Amino acid sequence: MTSNGDTGKSYHLQCTGDALHTVDVHSAPADVTLFGGCFCPFVQRVWAALEYTSMGYQVDPYKKPAELLEISPKGLVPALKFSSGDRPRSLNESTVILEYIQESSLLPPATEAYARALIRLQADHVNRNLVPAFYRYLQAQESEKQIEGGKDFVAAIEDLVKLFERTYAETDTDVGLWTGSDKLSLADIMAAPWLFRATNVLLHYRGFSLPEGGKFNAYITRLCNHPAFKRTCSTEELYFESYERYAYNRPNTSQVANAINSGRALP
C-alpha cells in the first residue's frame, strides 16, 4: 500500500510554510505561551483556535523545556502557560484547552443550549471515533487491515456528516462551516487536523481519497483553507516525513501509536 520503503525519517522540530510565518509573528513573550509541536494534530487544533479567537500568545514550536513537565506531567503537548496574575496557572490536554477557549466564539451563545449540546456531540464523535480510526488506518501494515481501516475511517467521517446534518436540521443557529458560513465551530476545530492529514498523509501512504460529494467537498475546502487553520499548516513534506514512522508502525513511535497498537484509549 506504500510506494517507498521506510527511510527512517523522524518528526520535524521546526515548522515550515505558513506555520513558520505564524511562529515568527508569535515569537515575542506574551501572557499566554503555547507549548506545541509542528507536526502534532492535537496541538494544531488548539493553535488554530488561538488564531481564530485572536488571543495574544507566544508559541514554542517543539523545544519541550523543563517547565513543560510542570504543566503536563506526561510531557505531552499541547499545553498552555499563563504568565499574568499573582499565581501560576496552566492547562494541558487539547480538549480541556479548547473548552477554555471555546466560550469566546467556538460555540453558539449560551442562550442556545440545544445547539451547543449538538456541537458537543459532534466533537465527542471526533475524539471517540474519527481520531482513533485515523491512526488505526495509518498504522495498519497488512493489506486486509488497511482496507478495514480505510472503511472504518470513512464510516467515522460519514457519521460526522450525519451529526452535522442533524444539527443543521434541528436548529436555526449558524453552527459552523458545514452550513456554508465562515465561522469555525468547536467540532470543525476538533476534526480539522485529521481531515487535513487525510488529504496529504493518508493520500501519500495509503492512496486514500476522501468521500466524494458536493457539500462535503465544499466543507473540506472551506475547512482546510480557513485563514485561522491555514496559518497553522506546514508544507506537505513536513507531514510526509513526520508521519513515516506511523505509516510503518515503528516500535514506540509515540504514546498515541502505542495506545492504538495495544487497543487502549488515546493518552
Q: Are residues 63 and 195 in the same domain?
A: no
Same domain, 95 and 130: no
Q: Are residues 76 and 139 in the same domain?
A: no
- Residues 126, 223: one domain? yes
CATH number, domain of 216, equals 1.20.1050.10
Q: Which three cell numbers stand for residue 37?
A: 509541536
Strands 32-35 and 58-60: parallel
209-220 residues labelled b (16+ CB within 10 A) or e (exposed): ebeeeeebeebb
What is the amino acid identity at position 233? C
Per-residue pLDDT at 122: 97
Confirm whether pTM is higher than 0.85.
yes
Q: What is the CA radius of gyration of the chain?
A: 18
Q: Which of 102, 122, 148 represents a domain boundary (last residue)? A: 102
Spatial separation of the C-alpha atoms in residues 135 and 251, rounded to whole Å:
14
User: 159 in a domain, yes or no?
Assistant: yes
Residue 70 lies in a domain: yes
What pLDDT is recorded for position 64?
66
Closest CA to 235 of 87, 18, 50: 18
Question: Which residues of the chain register pLDDT less than 70?
Answer: 1-4, 61-65, 103-104
Provide the H-helix boundaries in 131-185. Answer: 131-139, 143-170
Residue ending a domain, among 50, 82, 102, is 102
| Peptide bond between residue 73 and the one before it cis (omega within 30 degrees of 0) | no
Residue 195 lies in a domain: yes
Number of Cβ atoms within 10 Å of the Cβ of 194: 24
Beta pairing partners, 79: 35, 92
Same domain, 120 and 212: yes
Which residue segment(s) compose the domain that 59 sits in?
Answer: 17-102
Please give the single-letter amino acid code of residue 95: T
Domain boundary among 35, 68, 102: 102
Please check whether residues 92 and 216 belong to one and the same domain.
Answer: no
What's the pLDDT score for residue 103? 66
- Same structural domain for residues 215 and 145? yes
Let me know whether 136 and 31 are in one domain: no
Q: Does residue 59 sit in the same domain as residue 119? A: no
pLDDT, one tens digit per residue, over 1-22 is: 434 589 999 888 899 999 999 9
φ, ψ of residue 44 to 5 degrees: the values are -60, -35
Q: C-alpha angle with apex 217: 161 to 23, nearest 5 degrees?
A: 95
Q: Cell numbers of 252, please?
A: 514506540
Is the same domain home to 192 and 213? yes
CB count in 10 Å sphere of residue 140: 21
Pairing relationship of beta strands 79-82 and 58-60 according to DSSP bridges:
unpaired
pLDDT of 63: 66
- Please check whether residue 12 lies inside any domain of the structure: no
> How many domains are there within the chain?
2
Count of CA atoms in the C-beta half-sphere (13 A) of 57: 25
Using CB atoms within 10 A of its CB, is residue 77 exposed (0-12), middle (13-18) or buried (19+)? buried
Asked, for residue 64, whether it belongs to a domain, the answer is yes
Check residue 104 and give its pLDDT.
Answer: 60
In a domain, 267, yes or no: no
What's the pLDDT score for residue 4? 52
**Predicted pLDDT at 1:** 40
Cβ atoms within 10 Å of 120's Cβ, excluding its own: 16
Are 197 and 236 in a shared domain? yes
Domain presence at residue 107: no
| Residue 161 within a domain | yes
Q: What is the CATH number for 67? A: 3.40.30.10
pLDDT of residue 2: 39
Q: What is the spatial distance between Cα 256 and Cα 243, in angstroms, rounded to a whole number?
A: 12
Whether residue 248 sits in one domain with residue 170: yes
